[in-house]
Amino acid sequence: MKINVRQREGVTILDLKGKITIGVGDVALRDAIHQALDAGAKHILINLDDVTTIDSSGVGELVSSYTTVTNRGSKLKLANLPPKVADILQITQLITVFDVYEDEEEAIAAF
Amino acid sequence: MPTESSPFHLTIGSRFENIELVHAVLADALSAFDLDEESRHWIDLAVREAVANAIKHGNRLEPEKRVEIELEMEHEDLVVRVRDEGEGFDPGDLNDPLAPENRLRPNGRGIFYMKSFMDDIEYRFRPGEGTEVTLRKRLGGESESDRVGTDASGNPVDEKET
């Protein structure tokens, strides 16, 4: 998985691309979240538009990201969920745990 | 339709990067079946979970320990078997990942994934010979796992949007 980090209107946006899967993608996401928090990010948006596969470890890392960011007093939102990722968050009943938005603009406006 | 060449038997070392090898071989094998892209995706995810469990929990990330993956047809069922060299576990000890107290746990969703995306999963423990998980997908008629949304026992609770 590749992660591109950018800033927009005070929000740190992580553009995830590829597979969030055990051993590689989950570790990359964890590192990116910690780096953003260490850099002082208060508002973090994960853009899932180009995610093709998310296994249970990837879902677990999203949950860890949410709890880590929240415990540090920052806020995390998700945007642009591909249908298969949305299905996964639905069946794991995590869709209501996360703040999920249709697109980047909507998510940024909601911080 | 399945072809003579569609079944396979693959043995890998216990490294997570080998899951991509399994994915590639499985994708090639599944292309011989009359399955849409979405069905292939869910089967791939279930097999990924079985192999990841075998590597992590079964073989405890010891790279010299082997994981065997077999795919074959049994009547109208697509059957994938994944074997490790571990000591086994009690499925009854697993937590329900949908229970409110477990919802924010980072682990414990692997078997739930398998139950959600396949029609049946079965574990077999052989003393001294590791654990075998059998994943079954019914290809004839409507498959129960065509409906996304299951309870902790893998029973469907909601229709998948199409």
pLDDT in tens, B60-70: 999 999 999 99
Which is more confidently placed, A11 or B1? A11
- Cβ–Cβ of A56/B41 closer than 8 Å? no
User: Is the full-model pTM beyond 0.95?
Assistant: no
Predicted confidence band of residue B88 (pLDDT cuts 50, 70, 90)? confident
Complex prediction ipTM = 0.91
Q: Is A63–B160 a contact, with Cβ atoms under 8 angstroms apart?
A: no
Tell me how far the alpha carbon of residue A49 is from its chain's centroid.
Answer: 11
| Long-range contacts formed by B9-12: CB under 8 A, 24+ apart | B9/B68, B9/B69, B9/B70, B10/B68, B10/B69, B10/B70, B11/B66, B11/B67, B11/B68, B11/B69, B12/B51, B12/B66, B12/B67, B12/B69
The whole-angstrom separation of Cα B14 and Cα A75 is: 37
- pLDDT, one tens digit per residue, over A3-44 is 999 999 999 999 999 999 999 888 999 999 999 999 999 999
Q: Which residue of B has its CA nearest to A58?
A: B106
| B109·A56 Cβ contact <8 A | yes
- Band (B144; pLDDT cuts 50, 70, 90): low
Superfamily per CATH, domain A2-110: STAS domain (3.30.750.24)
Determine, for residues A60 and B112 on separate chains, whether the beta-carbon distance falls below 8 Å: no
Closest C-alpha among A14, A8, A7, A2 to residue A78: A14
Share of chain B above pLDDT 90, in %: 68
As a whole number, mean pLDDT of residues B117-141 equals: 90
List the domain boundaries for chain B: 8-146
Domain boundaries defined on chain A: 2-110
Superfamily of domain B8-146: Histidine kinase-like ATPase, C-terminal domain (3.30.565.10)
User: Average of pLDDT values for B128-135?
Assistant: 91
Q: How distant, in Å, are the alpha carbons of A28, A66, B42, B46, B160 from that of B78?
A: 34, 37, 13, 13, 21
Residues of chain A in Cβ contact (below 8 Å) with chain B = 21-24, 53, 55-57, 59-61, 63-64, 66-67, 84, 87, 90-94, 97
Binning pLDDT at 50, 70 and 90, where does residue B94 land? Answer: confident
Diameter of chain B measured on Cα atoms: 48
